[in-house]
Chain A
Amino acid sequence: MSTTPTDVIDHLAGIRPGSSLDRLRDQRPQARENAQKSYLALFEPEVPGTVTPLERYALATFVAGLHRQPHVGDFYSAALERLGHPRLTEVVVSEIARGATEGPYGRYPAGPHSVEDKDGPSYRVSADSRESLGARLAAGLEHAHLLVFHPRDASPAALQGLLDAGWSTTDIVTLSQLVAFLSFQIRVVAGLRALAGASAVESTDTEYTQIFTGVLASGAV
């Protein structure tokens, strides 16, 4: 088992100690520290509860895959594989492909915003995968898909489906936090990566401008 990065967001976003983004992230030290604590509470909980590590990493692999962020997807699928279930990882990966779509979509309560209702798929795990995953984890993936792509379609019936598949009320809170937290973590990582990329382009431009200005000043052009 490899050790957990001391800051998973930095690890996934490729932020190096002492870099400009490292210093900027430090301006929100509580947010930074507690994003990590959230990760630990969900993936290495002190009180393990009844949601298994296998379920947590299978859900995370699925959620990261649906977001199509390769760095994050690899991180969670590697953790899932380390739990010793290569076949399960394969099944989850095949379900990512089946669940791929674009969000947010969904319906509003009937009223002035109904004109904004946007149709999209109601994802169900395939029959074959359901057999491999079991009814409980299959129901978990289906709920994760709802939360990732069309949370405004959520309903008591969706929660009842989880209860019927063996998730307790407390398990559902953990499952919901896990998917919702990943929706946050993945966006922070994507945002910081984009910012690092944009800054790299800019500093290259600045350097070039300085060189070019230098050349102009030297009268060589």
Chain B
Amino acid sequence: MTETTLSHPDNREPVAFTQDELGWLPWLEPFPADQLTERHWAGLVDASRAKSPYFLLLARDPDVLQARTKTDKDIFYNTANGLPRAERELAATATSRSNGCIFCASVHSRFATQYSKRGADIQRLLDEGVEADIDPRWNAIVEASVALTDTPIAFGGRQIEALRAAGLDDGEIIDVINGASFFNWANRLMLSLGEPTPPAVKQEGGDKTPATSSPASRR
């Protein structure tokens, strides 16, 4: 059986970090949607994910996809005790910014903005990079995420001390560790199995309002 990669010569790949809603095109053939078995549906977790070429591609190994998705959801959505959702999304955004995943950063910067209502601060993280000086608490979360993202891993006592000084308890520090670590998983898949596409509709001017109101999400 001869298999080849998919190419998208007409795509104009976004070149800058953005909170706009981007698309994504796979470099390998996704699993055919009309051939999904029970095991594949279980792997997709949410039936709506069968519309996504990314999840259909990952559905080729459905058991891993299922476990990965459930890990992801608990790390980010289970806010019983622990770090507020906004700051878990901040860790995801900082990790994606450090690894250079423009697509992942777009999704999670939008969430970070939605939950924190601090779109301008998030945009500075995207524009200036992980060195952006925001405030002591966010700086500590960004620095910890970046230290965890370095290979070899640079996270240690110094980052933990800074997180504690910013008011995080050990449970909240574990949320930072989980969030940044999980995005080291997600970034590598998104970056290596396909490419982002520009927002469906171009926004007027340079206004970077939160993407919940972006044109693409209204379609």
* A104–B98 touching, CB < 8 Å: yes
| Minimum CB distance partner of B58 in chain A | A173
* B71–A156 touching, CB < 8 Å: no
Residue A38 CB within 8 A of the other chain:
yes
Interface centre among A34, A112, A188, A191 (most CB of B within 10 A): A191
Q: With A38-B68, A69-B153, A194-B155 as given contacts, are A154 and B192 in contact (CB-CB < 8 Å)?
A: yes
Residue A127 CB within 8 A of the other chain:
no
Residue A88 CB within 8 A of the other chain:
no
Residue A25 CB within 8 A of the other chain:
yes
Chain B residues within CB distance 8 Å of chain A: 1, 3-7, 13-17, 27-29, 39, 57-58, 60-61, 63-68, 70-71, 73-75, 78, 80-82, 98-102, 129, 148-153, 155-157, 159-161, 170-171, 173-175, 177-178, 180-182, 184-189, 191-193
Contact of A148 among B7, B29, B151 (CB under 8 A): B151
Chain B residue numbers with a CB within 8 Å of A69 are: 152-153
Q: List 9 A-B contacts (CB under 8 A).
A: A28-B82, A30-B78, A34-B70, A38-B67, A69-B153, A188-B177, A191-B155, A191-B177, A194-B157
Cα separation A191 to B163 with both chains bound (whole Å):
13
Q: With A104-B99, A168-B1, A176-B192 as given contacts, are A187 and B153 in contact (CB-CB < 8 Å)?
A: yes
* B13–A146 touching, CB < 8 Å: no
Give chain A's interface residue range (CB within 8 Å of chain B): 35 or more
| Minimum CB distance partner of A191 in chain B | B177
Cα separation A181 to B74 with both chains bound (whole Å):
16
Q: With A174-B61, A195-B170 as given contacts, are A31 and B150 in contact (CB-CB < 8 Å)?
A: no
Seed contacts A20-B170, A21-B174; 18 additional CB < 8 Å A-B pairs: A25-B174, A28-B74, A30-B78, A34-B67, A37-B63, A38-B64, A67-B151, A108-B102, A109-B14, A152-B99, A154-B193, A159-B5, A168-B1, A169-B29, A180-B188, A181-B64, A192-B177, A198-B157
Cα separation A41 to B63 with both chains bound (whole Å):
6
Cα separation A104 to B174 with both chains bound (whole Å):
23
* A184–B181 touching, CB < 8 Å: yes
Stretch of A43-51, A130-138, A211-219 contacting B (4+ beta carbons < 8 Å)? A43-51
Contact of B188 among A24, A27, A157, A183 (CB under 8 A): A183
